[in-house]
Amino acid sequence: MSLVRLSSLPYAVVLRRGWLLPCLFMLVLAGCASRELTPIDAPPDRAGISMERALILSHAQQAIGTPYRFGGNTPEGLDCSGLVEMTYRAAGIRVPRTANEQFQALPKADAPRPGDLLFFGERRKATHVGIYRGNGQMIHAPGNGRRVVSVPLEIDYWQARFLGAASPAP
């Protein structure tokens, strides 16, 4: 059997071929059912994340460039734990206010996933927190006179001070 172009057949012939329309319909349905909604520019380790994590990451990304403000937790100014509080609040998740309170209270994670929290400090006290972006990157509010940025985690500074990760988002 050879394939024919529909435009070359009269309408009545297309209707008489009872197999043609159902087959086309099934092809359209199969195409719709097999697609997955994944942004083209999303890193591979963001595939399949929850809506809450997507919101956290989106709000953290939007916060890049926001000036640092001690005690800040609004788009006008953020400190590290304020960035976490603001982005998690946007996803409907309440977290403690300070980095150390977050470190002590939130469920630990062995291997961070995008949207998880990364804690840094001395011994067992967290003095800094950032949001794991995926692909070895963290979004955080670095300190006075600076702005929220995304940084690579392979830097020795972060490696030497890493305390652990927490996963409060589903």
Burial class (CB in 10 A: 0-12, 13-18, 19+), 96: middle
Residue 126, strand partner residues = 121
Residue 78, strand partner residues = 68, 73
Establish whether 23 is a catalytic residue: no
Distance CA 109, CA 102 (A): 13
| Alpha helical stretches, state H, the chain | 11-16, 20-33, 51-63, 80-90, 99-105, 156-161
> What spatial distance separates the first Cα and last Cα of the chain, rounded to whole Å?
53
Active-site positions read: 80, 128, 140
